[in-house]
Amino acid sequence: MSHVSSHSPHGQTPLHTVQVLGGGSAGSSAHVRSLAAGLAARGVRVTVCAPDEAARIYDFTAAGARHVSVPRSADPAAVAALRTACADADLVHAHGLHAALRAAVALTGRHTPLVVTWHTRAHAQGARARVLRLLERRVARAAAVVLGTSSDLVDRARSRGARDARLAAVALPAPRRPETAEEADSLPHKARAELGAVERPLILAVGALERSRGYDVLLDATRAWRHLDPMPLLLVAGEGPERAVLQRRIEDERLPARLIGRRDDVPELLAAADVAVLPSSWESRSVLAQEALHARVPLVATAVGGIPELVGDAAELVPYGDVDALSSAVVRLLANPVRQAELADRGAAQAATWPTEDETVTQVLSVYDELTQPLPYG
């Protein structure tokens, strides 16, 4: 492993990195916040170029970074703002495909190294899929190093022509812990009372209401739970373009499900849940999967993307799109307290193997070091 230093090649001034965030999923935004704090603590100068909305939620300045407002847009003004922010950077680190594309354009004609982290994979069909492939190729080839958050993303980057693609250590920032045992005990009851599920099992899904998330399959699966007594309630936390379609189905088919919008209290919701579900068509390092295992909540998830690698044997894995497999896995779990306890223990053990925030920063800094150290003479 290379020598980790927070100094630029000139040996005098601190290393200056610019972190570029596009729209930013919750996972990538939290990662940049964690990275900014860890790098700043090691004496690195950090500038975060991100939309104002992300800065409001994640408060990059409180982490020790300078925030430069760059809207999520490919227009010339946004690229010019990015180019200015990167003028004295020793290294630029972009998170996500569109942020990486803008960073590559902004760095045109400069020799500043570009590191790109692929946190997730965009979904597209037909002509849009071809455009997406071209964008991925452009970004993969522009980057000195591509860090993928799951093995299949690393393989994808290589297939798109990345010179150097590696598995990224990405930590889930530590959740806020209840301050007292009393608070820990009261949280689930309080959340259940608010959600109207005091006497019935609670099943929780979290994520944007988009087609790729598999919520149509999940709603189909709830039909199999209607004969249970008491009848479980499915809560879906998140917002997105599919809200109206999903809401209409819940009402028309009288499904035991509620859309509860975007929430900032997911740890509290998890503490109240009996089972967490992740029905997506593809995921990398799902934040929900990590939070569920940390919280010792049994997880039923689709065996797609980086999920099997992330959770190991600590979750019930089902094929994507298989309504029967999804519904019966949930029904079996609810009826089997021994299996629930076993998954809770396995989940805690699996979570202990994941990288810490400190290890994540160390890995990233070692990559920066490789790319900014002067070449030895001779």
Which CATH number fits the domain 16-171+356-372, given the four candidates 3.40.50.2000, 3.40.190.10, 3.40.140.10, 3.30.360.10?
3.40.50.2000
Predicted pLDDT at 105: 94
Closest residue by Cα to residue 255 from 271, 275, 239, 233: 233
Which residue stretches of 165-205 are H helix? 181-195
Between CA 191 and CA 360 the distance in angstroms is 33
Can 16-171+356-372 and 181-351 be said to share one CATH topology? yes
Domain residue extents for the chain:
16-171+356-372, 181-351
Q: Express each pLDDT in 212-239 by its tens digit.
A: 999 999 999 999 998 899 999 999 999 9
CA 321 – CA 111 distance, rounded (Å) = 46
pLDDT value for 85: 96
Q: Residue 10: count other Cβ atoms within 10 Å of its Cβ.
A: 9
162-205: per-residue pLDDT in tens?
A: 999 999 988 876 665 555 556 556 556 666 777 766 689 999 99
pLDDT of residue 361: 96
The whole model's pTM is what? 0.85
At residue 22 the predicted structure's pLDDT band, cuts being 50, 70 and 90, is: confident
DSSP per position, 241-298: TTHHHHHHHHHHTT-SEEEEES-S-HHHHHHH-SEEEE--S--SS-HHHHHHHHTT--
Note the CATH architecture for domain 181-351: 3-Layer(aba) Sandwich (3.40)
